[in-house]
């Protein structure tokens, strides 16, 4: 069965640079979520989209933005990167909201 695809899997950036993370949901899933997981931490919700519209927002810094495109893939744009942004970034998708969410393998971002 098709799973959630995330790219890149690993990303190394310098402070103050920008990064773009991409997420391709499971086919026919209409809702995409982004989570951030620090080392040894539980995942923290950033933002979600339903049918290409932002549907919920969590603790996402103003330096970050995201969108969902017409083909339902989503991109998380991160600017003015800080050392503290180093984390695993997960994308998840679901069929409609409030249903089980299926996670991608994550993008490991390292900010030097």
The residues binding other proteins (CB under 8 A) are: 31, 33, 35, 41-43, 45, 48, 50, 55-56, 58, 90, 92, 97-98, 100-106
Shortest gap between Cβ of 62 and other proteins (angstroms)?
19
Nearer to other proteins, 18 or 110 (CB): 110
Shortest gap between Cβ of 15 and other proteins (angstroms)?
26
The two beta strands, 107-111 and 10-13, are parallel
Nearer to other proteins, 73 or 79 (CB): 73
Shortest gap between Cβ of 101 and other proteins (angstroms)?
6
Shortest gap between Cβ of 96 and other proteins (angstroms)?
9
Nearer to other proteins, 72 or 90 (CB): 90
Q: How far apart, in whole angstroms, are the C-alpha atoms of residue 92 and residue 98? A: 12
Question: Are the C-beta atoms of 59 and 46 separated by less than 8 Å?
Answer: yes
State the DSSP code for 62. T
Strands (E), 8-86: 10-13, 19-24, 31-37, 44-50, 53-57, 64-68, 74-78
């Amino acid at each position: 069965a098709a799973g959630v695809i995330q790219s890149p899997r690993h990303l190394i950036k310098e402070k103050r640079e920008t990064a773009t993370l991409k997420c391709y949901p499971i086919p026919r899933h209409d809702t995409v979520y982004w989570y951030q997981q620090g080392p040894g931490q539980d995942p923290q919700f950033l933002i979600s989209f339903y049918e290409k519209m932002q549907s919920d927002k969590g603790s996402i810094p103003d330096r970050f933005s995201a969108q969902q495109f017409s083909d339902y893939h989503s991109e998380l744009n991160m600017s003015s990167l800080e050392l503290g942004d180093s984390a695993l970034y997960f994308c998840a998708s679901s069929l409609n909201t409030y249903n089980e969410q299926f996670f991608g393998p994550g993008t490991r971002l390292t900010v030097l």
